Amino acid sequence: MCNKLFLSHSSEDSRIVAAFVNFMFKIGLSEENIVCTSVPETKIAVGNDIYAYLNKLISEEKIYVIYFLSDNYYASPVCLNEMGAVWLKKSDSLNLLLPGFDFEDIRGVVEKNKVGIKLGTCDNMTKAAFNDFLGILKEKFGINPTPTRWEIARDEFLQSALDNIRRFNMSFSRSYCIGDLENDGCKIIKRESGNDMITAMIDFEKTESKLCNIVVFNGKRDFTNYYLNKKNLCFEAYGDEGINCVDIELHLKDIDMPYEIYLNEDEKEFKLPLVQFCDSLMFWKMVSEIKFLFYRKKVKNKGKVVIKNLRIE
């Protein structure tokens, strides 16, 4: 039997990890069973040194580890240190690949060929993989949820992961002026609402650039099914009086495909059909960036622009 279920994850992925913790509670695990730094019920108590606590946990407790692997995970030195420490102890573990992250992206000491579970679908193969995972939890933690309780909780979590793949983490947004990286003619001044909203200041008086650019880094995501199912790129946005014309641009494979929209001072919801960016299926295999472009010739005055809830629907 294990003492603890340790969830190794990036804080940038806290939304889906919190949904997983809720999933575990529903099937019979308790707060005492789980260590997860992003959830109030399972976080490390105030007053503890986080690194000392985790080092003691990994060294002394009998733990089962779940790696929530993503681009965010590999960008975090803390996560990589956790991975290395767990590997040295040779604790049992499971790889959960978050939406947008593939098995070929796995690196470091985590075994690439070890069977894991890729989130972002709710099909029979994924459900079967989670049924195998339930067997591990029964063995290691002694839980025994009824079949109905298990299936409801499992499917709710898989659906939450599916919803997560359709949203874009805007905390990875960056702003800059093309050809002028020294000045702040385009500057993100605020992030809020759980990484779903940014506010940027556009001011061409501070730069000689002809183009200001806000980029939401998406990793490498396959939009093929979205395109085939006639989905839309959706968000809400508004701008000051002088910021009323914006080009939305998707970086597809090796090309950029733009779409022009118009803002006003009242918040407006936009639903842009993917097919209007590009009508060739082959290019939707990999989408890596979503850009908001502001051209000097189209901006009347300096001002703020707000972009919220970037998602696929």
Quick: pLDDT tens for 93-128: 899 998 767 788 888 767 666 778 988 788 899 999
Are residues 103 and 177 both part of a single domain? no
What CATH number is attached to the domain comprising 38?
3.40.50.10140
Residues 88 and 160 reside in one and the same domain: yes
For residue 204, give the nearest of 300, 307, 305 by alpha carbon. Answer: 300
Asked whether residue 24 falls in the same domain as residue 138, the answer is: yes
- Condensed to tens digits (0 to 9), the pLDDT of residues 64-76 reads 889 999 877 888 8
Shared domain for 122 and 174, answered yes or no, is: no
Q: How confident is the model at residue 43 (pLDDT cuts 50, 70, 90)?
A: low
Query: Do both 8 and 37 map to the same domain?
Result: yes
In a shared domain, residues 104 and 15: yes
Q: Are residue 147 and residue 194 in the same domain, yes or no?
A: no
Q: Which amino acid is at 38?
A: S
Euclidean distance between CA atoms 45 and 224, whole angstroms: 44
pLDDT band at 42 (very low <50, low <70, confident <90, very high): low
270-284 mean pLDDT? 92
The boundaries of the domain holding residue 55 are 4-165
Same domain, 59 and 159: yes
List Cβ neighbours of 61 (8 Å cut-off, separation of 6 or more): 3, 4
- Residues 104 and 181 reside in one and the same domain: no
- CATH code, domain with 179: 2.60.120.260
H or E segment to which residue 23 belongs? helix 14-26
Q: Do both 82 and 200 map to the same domain?
A: no
150 and 53 together in one domain: yes
Number of domains in the chain: 2
Q: Where is the domain boundary, 112, 138, 165?
A: 165
Of residues 221 and 147, which shows the higher confidence score? Answer: 147
pLDDT average, residue stretch 210-229: 84
pTM: predicted TM-score of the whole model, two decimal places: 0.63
**Domain end call among 165, 191, 224:** 165
Tell me: do 134 and 228 sit in the same domain.
no
Tokens linked to 75: 């960008």
